[in-house]
Amino acid sequence: MHLWPLIALSQNEPAIAAGKDIAVVQTEYGAVRGYIHNGIYTFKGIPYAKAARFMPPEKPAPWAGIRSCLAYGPVCPTTQSTSFSDEFAFAFQQNPGHSDEDCLNLNIWTKKTGNGEKKPVMVFLHGGGFASGSSIEYPSYDGENLSRKGGVILVSINHRLNVLGFLDLSAYGKKYKYSANAGAMDIVAALNWVKENIANFGGDPDNVTIFGQSGGGAKVSCLMNIPSAKGLFQKAIVQSGSYLTRFTEDSIAKKVSVVLLAELNLQPSQADSLQKIPYERLSAAGLKALKKVEKTLKTADMAAFGLEWGPVRDDNFLPYQPGDAKAIALSKNVPLLVGTCKNEYNPFIPGARGISMDSARAKLHRKYGDKTEAYFAAVKKAYPETVKPSDYMDVDLIFRPLAVAQADNKAIPGAAPVYMYLFKWQSPVLDTLFKAFHCMDLPFVFDNIQRCEEMTGGGKDAYALADQVSQAWINFAKTGNPNSKGLPAWPEYTPENGAVMLFDNKCEVRYHHDKELLAIGAGE
């Protein structure tokens, strides 16, 4: 049964304990002081590295005395933040934080510190692609409840993004050798910090799970391909983030830099001036360069969503493309939990809300032609509860196939297990406008229904499902197996069985439940 966060607290005890000698922990670089909130030790804005613009991350400078880590640190600057309508802004309750290029910091939530305990560690990577977002962007990212419930240590990080993290300047000097993947190197640096320091917070450095949603899931996929990250984590969870099907080739990344310099009227010999140019000008030039170079490329040269800021295959830090045999071998022994939401981005697409069945049929006919009736039958077979015309319009057929492909590639003989899920619970808020859209799973994973009532409604059904979903994530972090009490038996996924856990008010396992639907969506 789910317990409200404050039930166990005495009314005579303050919710927050903070003071000179409270929640002090020693790290390799100096002592940090956090606070205790409702029994959870909380540390915010701990520096895990430092870096000059375009340079690889270095270990943070040691400090004397005790460093106060009570408030969130800076987030990476971005000019690409998602713009929401009023209704979706209401659901997300976005917090932009304060930005600074000195943003390599992390946050920790834990029940206890030290004492020789070895609690499982869960390192969360935020969404926003590789261009925007932060560890504090949404209220669902708060790690207190998950730490309290599961006895896990929750870590979230900020790192360099967009042009600051993924501009390939390697053609302009040896010092820029790693600039193309500086943002990904930051994440590896954070995992190294966890390896070195998390035991002092009560964590097990040899039982680390990396997990992320959307762009965070793509970062998890990226880390599974990075040789220097091997051994820094033992399990991986990809939530709606299987779209990173290809890293940008360094030849393409170098073209982006050439165009960026031209946009700024700079000669190649003036590349060093990029270290000082104001961020807004640099970012604007970078976005123009991406668009111009993208127009010259073939679809096969890009990831699923086109040419964006992101990891670069470079023969040094990131030598393999996803799917290469050597890349698969790197993470062969890492269990994977992967899945998507039923409706993902489709609720953002205008035209489905309140549509009539005749209009829905006409729109779908323009897309599927003589396969339209087969499409309707396939949707009904996959999701028997389908009734409204809009339910036929907004089933995700973009993220789900990519997740299946990732699971198929990972589930090879002799490898660690793969488990697949599909989150299909429909939010009742705003006349079910949000459905199971992109990010809807986050409040359930983090057991943060109360913090995210605008998205979930905060009803009993939401709390009940969050109890099941969060426990599955906790169990996976502990053992590599998400099976938990209250859920039906969850088998390992294989390409042959197509097993998927459907998360809803009644959770169930089905096998190839949407095989026909995916085939139609793929044009087969």
Residue 22 has pLDDT above 90, yes or no: yes
Give the range among 106-120, 174-188, 446-460 with minimum mean pLDDT.
106-120
CA angle 370–374–378, rounded 5-degree value? 150
- The verdict on 240 and 252 lying in the same domain is no
**Does any domain span residue 137?**
yes
Residue 524: per-residue pLDDT: 83
Provide the CATH number for the domain around residue 445: 3.40.50.1820
Q: 132, 134, 214, 242: which is the annotated catalytic residue?
A: 214
**Does any domain span residue 1?**
no
Q: Model confidence over 245-264: pLDDT tens digits?
A: 999 999 999 999 999 999 99
- The verdict on 376 and 435 lying in the same domain is yes
Residue 40: per-residue pLDDT: 97
- The verdict on 180 and 223 lying in the same domain is yes
Q: 344, 390, 427, 454: which is the annotated catalytic residue?
A: 344
- The verdict on 59 and 134 lying in the same domain is yes
Active site residue 214: yes
Residue 469: per-residue pLDDT: 98
**Does any domain span residue 8?**
no
Q: 2, 126, 438, 513: which is the annotated catalytic residue?
A: 438
Residue 6: per-residue pLDDT: 45
Residue 346: per-residue pLDDT: 72
Instruction: Provide the domain limits for residue 23.
Output: 16-247+319-330
Grade residue 520 by pLDDT with cuts at 50, 70 and 90.
Answer: very high
Residue 2 has pLDDT above 70, yes or no: no
Q: How far is CA 442 from CA 134, 253, 464, 470, in A?
A: 14, 32, 15, 10
Please state the pTM of the whole predicted model: 0.95
- The verdict on 345 and 487 lying in the same domain is yes
Residue-averaged pLDDT of the chain:
94
- The verdict on 270 and 217 lying in the same domain is no
**Does any domain span residue 9?**
no
Closest CA to 400 of 301, 494, 515, 493: 515
Question: Structurally, how many domains does the chain consist of?
Answer: 3
Q: Which amino acid is at 376?
A: F
**Does any domain span residue 3?**
no
Q: Model confidence over 400-425: pLDDT tens digits?
A: 999 999 999 999 999 999 999 999 99
Active site residue 10: no
Active site residue 438: yes
The answer to whether 311 and 318 are in contact (CB under 8 A) is yes
**Does any domain span residue 63?**
yes
Those residues with Cβ within 8 angstroms of residue 522's Cβ, 6 or more apart along the chain or in another chain: 401
What CA–CA distance (Å, rounded) separates 57 from 50?
6
Among 266, 296, 330, the domain-final residue is 330
Altogether, the residues listed in the chain come to a count of: 524
- The verdict on 236 and 265 lying in the same domain is no
Among 330, 362, 397, the domain-final residue is 330
Q: Which amino acid is at 13?
A: E
**pLDDT mean over 16-36:** 96
**Does any domain span residue 5?**
no
* Helix H or strand E segment including 91: helix 86-92
Q: Model confidence over 458-503: pLDDT tens digits?
A: 999 999 999 999 999 999 999 999 999 999 999 999 999 999 999 9
Burial label for 1, CB within 10 Å (0-12, 13-18, 19+), is exposed
- The verdict on 237 and 357 lying in the same domain is no
- The verdict on 252 and 239 lying in the same domain is no
Residue 47 has pLDDT above 90, yes or no: yes
Closest CA to 243 of 285, 306, 184, 160: 306
3 state SS of 123: strand
- The verdict on 90 and 220 lying in the same domain is yes
Backbone angles phi, psi at 23, to 5 degrees: 55, 55
Closest CA to 212 of 285, 323, 138: 138
Residue 195 has pLDDT above 70, yes or no: yes
The gap between the terminal CA atoms of the chain, to the nearest Å, is: 45
- The verdict on 267 and 140 lying in the same domain is no
What region does 160 belong to: left with phi over 0, alpha with psi -120 to 50, or beta?
Answer: beta
Grade residue 347 by pLDDT with cuts at 50, 70 and 90.
Answer: low
**Does any domain span residue 6?**
no
- The verdict on 82 and 212 lying in the same domain is yes
